[in-house]
C-alpha cells in the first residue's frame, strides 16, 4: 500500500478496518521523509518521538473502542513559525536558530488533541517574508514537481511536504498569499480561511491584522477536516471568533443554482501567462456545466491592494520584529562594546536581507511626517477594498480568480524584489479585506506542464461556500496526489545543491 497517497478519509477507514495502525502510518511517514526530503528539503526539524507517542495513544484508544479525534493517525507537520513545546521555532531565521518553544500554539495544540501525528517543523521564507522559500536562512525548499523550481512561499515547506507525500496535511500561515500561492505551485489544496476563524496565538506574527493560519492537503475534504479540528474561539487571541460551522459538511451539495463571480479586470491583467488565464476560464466553464451561473463582478479598488499591503505589512512587521532584541532570546553578536552596539550588530547579522528590507521600510513608513502620508491612506484603501468585496458578494456566492500570474519559476529567475512581490497580485486583496480563499489544483499548464491553481474566494465567515464550490470543481479534474520529484514534464534535476542544512532532531528537548 502507498501510504503517502492516503487522504484523511482513507486513513480513517483503514484504521477502523484494522488494515494498518497509526504506528505503521508514522513509520511510513518517516520512511517517506528519509527517502524524499534530501531532494526537497521541506523539513527543518523532525519529531519522531512525539509522532510515535501520539500514534501509540491513537492505537490504544482504538483498541479500547474509544472514539478518536478528527485527525487521529494523520501524519501532520507545521510551518516553523508555529510554536510547539520542546521543538525549535526558528521562523527560518538565524535570529531564532537556537530558540526552543516553551509553549504550544493553539492551532498546533488543537491538531494534536484531534489525534494528529506531529512529524516536525517545515521550512519557510524567513519570518514569512517572501514568495519562493528562497529567503530561508537554512536553505531553500525545492518544488517536488521540478527540483529546479521554487515551491512558492512563504509556506513553501508546507506545500512541498504534502506534494511529495511526506505528510498527509500541514499547516501554513497566509499574510498575502503564503498558503494559496505555494499550493498552486505544488499542485495541492491550500486554504486561507476568513480572518479570525483560526487562532493566531503562538504563531510568530508578521502582520497581525493580515495573518491567518490554514491547512494544506491532497483533497478539499482533507483541508475541510483539518479546519474542523483547528477552528474556533480562543480567549488568548481576541481576534478569533466562535465557530459552529462544520466545514466538512455539505461538500457534496454541488453548485447548481450558485452564482459564481468573475472579475474581468483580473482575466485581462497585464503580465499574466496565457496558460493561467486558460486554466481559470476552464474552471469557470466546468462550474457552468455543473449548474452554476457565471456573473461578472467588479472590484474597482483591487488594483490598489498591492500598494496598501506594502505599507500596512512592513509597518506591522517592523512593530512585531522589534521584540527580537538579542537580550531575552534570539541571536546575540559577541564582542559588542555597549548595549546599543549589541542591538545593532545582533539584528544586522541575525536577520536576513529581506527581513532587513521590510524592517527598514516599516521604520520609514511609521516615522514622523511620513506616517500621515502613507499609513493613513493605506488604511483608507483597505476600507474601500473591503467594501468592494461586500458589494460583490451581494451579487454572487463565490468568486473565481487566478492564484498567481505564472506557474512555479526557476530559482534565481526573479531577482528584483518588486517583481517577486507581484507573485501575490491576485491573493493580497483578500488578506486586506479579511475574506477566505482557497487554491485548488486544476491540472498542468498547457505550456509548462506544471501545476496550476485557481482561487475560490467567499464572503467573510461563509467559508463553507468556498469548500462547497471547491469540492464540486475538484470532481472535474483528475489530479495526481503525489509529485514525481523532479521527473515531470519540465526539468529532471535529481539532486539538491550541498548548501542545505540537515533538520534538527527534536521532540525530547
161-198: pLDDT as tens digits: 999 999 999 999 999 999 999 999 999 999 999 999 99
The enclosing H or E element of 399 equals strand 398-402
Q: By the 8 A CB rule, do 386 and 167 touch?
A: no
State yes or no: is 281 an active-site residue. no
Instruction: Give 82-126 pLDDT, tens digit per residue.
Output: 999 999 999 999 999 999 999 999 999 999 999 999 999 999 999
Question: In the 8-state DSSP scheme, what is residue 237?
Answer: B
Catalytically annotated residue among 21, 178, 429, 471:
178
pTM for this prediction: 0.95
Q: Evaluate if residue 491 carries a pLDDT over 50.
A: no
Biggest distance spanned by C-alpha atoms of the chain: 71
Determine the pLDDT at residue 506.
Answer: 60
Q: Evaluate if residue 489 carries a pLDDT over 70.
A: no
Q: Which residues pair with 259 in a beta bridge?
A: 293
Residue 219 neighbours by CB distance under 10 Å: 23
Rg (CA), the chain: 21
Determine the pLDDT at residue 486.
Answer: 61
Helix (H), strand (E), coil (C) string for 149-204: ECCCCCCHHHHHHHHCCCCCEEEEEECCCCCHHHHHHHCCEEEECCCCCECCCCEC
> Mean of the pLDDT values across residues 222-235?
98
Q: Evaluate if residue 504 carries a pLDDT over 90.
A: no
- DSSP strand E in 47-168: where? 75-79, 117-122
Determine the pLDDT at residue 494.
Answer: 34
Q: By the 8 A CB rule, do 197 and 229 touch?
A: no
C-alpha cell at 212: 491567518
Q: How confident is the model at residue 497 (pLDDT cuts 50, 70, 90)?
A: very low
Question: In the 8-state DSSP scheme, what is residue 98?
Answer: T
Quickly list DSSP for 309-326.
Answer: HHHHHHHHHHHHHTT--S
Q: How confident is the model at residue 1 (pLDDT cuts 50, 70, 90)?
A: low
Domains within the chain, CATH numbers bracketed: 3-265+391-492 (3.90.1300.10), 302-378 (no CATH)
State yes or no: is 367 an active-site residue. no
Catalytically annotated residue among 79, 110, 121, 192:
79
Instruction: Give 274-285 pLDDT, tens digit per residue.
Output: 999 999 999 999
Instruction: Give 399-452 pLDDT, tens digit per residue.
Output: 999 999 999 999 999 988 888 888 899 999 999 999 999 999 998 999 999 999
Determine the pLDDT at residue 316.
Answer: 98
State yes or no: is 101 an active-site residue. no
Residues near 213 by Cβ (< 8 Å), separated by ≥ 6? 82, 107, 171, 172, 173, 174, 198, 199, 200, 203, 230
Cell 483533497, located at residue: 219
C-alpha cell at 505: 532532531
Catalytically annotated residue among 131, 132, 136, 154:
154
Amino acid at each position: 500500500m502507498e501510504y503517502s497517497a492516503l487522504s484523511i478519509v482513507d486513513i480513517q477507514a483503514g484504521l477502523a478496518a484494522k488494515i494498518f495502525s497509526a504506528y505503521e502510518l508514522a513509520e511510513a511517514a518517516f520512511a517517506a521523509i528519509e527517502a524524499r526530503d534530501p531532494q526537497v528539503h521541506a523539513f527543518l526539524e523532525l519529531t519522531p518521538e512525539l509522532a510515535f507517542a501520539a500514534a501509540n495513544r491513537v492505537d490504544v484508544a482504538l483498541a479500547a473502542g474509544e472514539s478518536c479525534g478528527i485527525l487521529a493517525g494523520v501524519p501532520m507537520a507545521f510551518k516553523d513559525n508555529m510554536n510547539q513545546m520542546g521543538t525549535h521555532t526558528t521562523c527560518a531565521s538565524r535570529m531564532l536558530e537556537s530558540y526552543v518553544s516553551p509553549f504550544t500554539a493553539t492551532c498546533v495544540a488543537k491538531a494534536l488533541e484531534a489525534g494528529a501525528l506531529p512529524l516536525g517543523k517545515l521550512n519557510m521564507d524567513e519570518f514569512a517574508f517572501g514568495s519562493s522559500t528562497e529567503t530561508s536562512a537554512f536553505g531553500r525548499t525545492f518544488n517536488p514537481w521540478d527540483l529546479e523550481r521554487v515551491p512558492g512561499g512563504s509556506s513553501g515547506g508546507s506545500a512541498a511536504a504534502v506534494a511529495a507525500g511526506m505528510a498527509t496535511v500541514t499547516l501554513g500561515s497566509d499574510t498575502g498569499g503564503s498558503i494559496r500561492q505555494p499550493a498552486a505551485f505544488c499542485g495541492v489544496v491550500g486554504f486561507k480561511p476568513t480572518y479570525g476563524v483560526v487562532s493566531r496565538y503562538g504563531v510568530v506574527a508578521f502582520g497581525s491584522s493580515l495573518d491567518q493560519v490554514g491547512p494544506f492537503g491532497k483533497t478539499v475534504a482533507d483541508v475541510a477536516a483539518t479546519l474542523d479540528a483547528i477552528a474556533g474561539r480562543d480567549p488568548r487571541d481576541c481576534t478569533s471568533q466562535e465557530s459552529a460551522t462544520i466545514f466538512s459538511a455539505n461538500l457534496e451539495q454541488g453548485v447548481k443554482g450558485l452564482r459564481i463571480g468573475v472579475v474581468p479586470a483580473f482575466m485581462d491583467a497585464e503580465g499574466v501567462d496565457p496558460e493561467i488565464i486558460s486554466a481559470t476560464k476552464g474552471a469557470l466553464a466546468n462550474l457552468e456545466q455543473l449548474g452554476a451561473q457565471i456573473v461578472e463582478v467588479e472590484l474597482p479598488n483591487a488594483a490598489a491592494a498591492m500598494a496598501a499591503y506594502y505599507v500596512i505589512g512592513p509597518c506591522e512587521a517592523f512593530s512585531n520584529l522589534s521584540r527580537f532584541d538579542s537580550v531575552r532570546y534570539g541571536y546575540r553578536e559577541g564582542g559588542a562594546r555597549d548595549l546599543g552596539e549589541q542591538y545593532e550588530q545582533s539584528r544586522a547579522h541575525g536577520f536576513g536581507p529581506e527581513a532587513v528590507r521590510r524592517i527598514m521600510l516599516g521604520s520609514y513608513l511609521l516615522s514622523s511626517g511620513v506616517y500621515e502620508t502613507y499609513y493613513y491612506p493605506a488604511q483608507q484603501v483597505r476600507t474601500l477594498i473591503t467594501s468592494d468585496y461586500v458589494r460583490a458578494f451581494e451579487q454572487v456566492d463565490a468568486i473565481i480568480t487566478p492564484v498567481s500570474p505564472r506557474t512555479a519559476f526557476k530559482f534565481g529567475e526573479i531577482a528584483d524584489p518588486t517583481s517577486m512581490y507581484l507573485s501575490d497580485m491576485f491573493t493580497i486583496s483578500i488578506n486586506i479585506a479579511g475574506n477566505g480563499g482557497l487554491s485548488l489544483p486544476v491540472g498542468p499548464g498547457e505550456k509548462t506542464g506544471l501545476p496550476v491553481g485557481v482561487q475560490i474566494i467567499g464572503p467573510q465567515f461563509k467559508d463553507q461556500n468556498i469548500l462547497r464550490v471547491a469540492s464540486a470543481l475538484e470532481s472535474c479534474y483528475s489530479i495526481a496526489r503525489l509529485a514525481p520529484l523532479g521527473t515531470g514534464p519540465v526539468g529532471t534535476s535529481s539532486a539538491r545543491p550541498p548548501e542545505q542544512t540537515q533538520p534538527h532532531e527534536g521532540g525530547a528537548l
